[in-house]
A = this chain, B = another copy of it.
Amino acid sequence: MSFRLQIRSNDTTPLFAQIVHQVREAVALGKLRPGDRIPTLRDLAARLLVNPNTIAKAFQELEREGVVVTRRGAGTFIAENHCALSDAERNRILGEKIEACLTEAVHLRFPRKEVQRLFAESMQRFRWTDGA
């Protein structure tokens, strides 16, 4: 599996947020594993044609979320996955995401069965921590 970042200039979401999202997704899909090294800040800035500060902001956000660990002078690495939030908070967050997802599905007039099918299909592509 290869790992490639890309910027969608016609997307309204902030550049740094696009990068954060893509790294988070790559980790969740198992394309990036704990210990893997991410390209350098300046490297990404040059390749994606964005300002180094923008990449820096993305890196900092990822570090704050515990997705990566940065070691000054050494680089940025995918962190050991662990979640420091309380169970109540975790359930609240995921619950809201699911509801938003289903709200969208209804408005797009997806039939129930189709949503279930797409969901099941996607689930198989992710890397679950329980190995299931």
Contacts and interface: CB of A to CB of B under 8 A. Distances in A.
A82 interface: yes
Categorize the interface residue count of chain A.
Answer: 35 or more
Taking the full assembly, how many copies of this chain does it contain? 4
Contact of A90 (B82, B103, B108): B108
A124 B52 CA distance: 46
A46 interface: no
B85 A106 contact: no
A79 interface: yes
Contacts of A67: 107
A104 B93 contact: yes
Interface in A3-40: 9-12, 14-15, 21, 24-25, 27-29
A123 B106 contact: no
Contacts of A77: 10
A58 interface: no
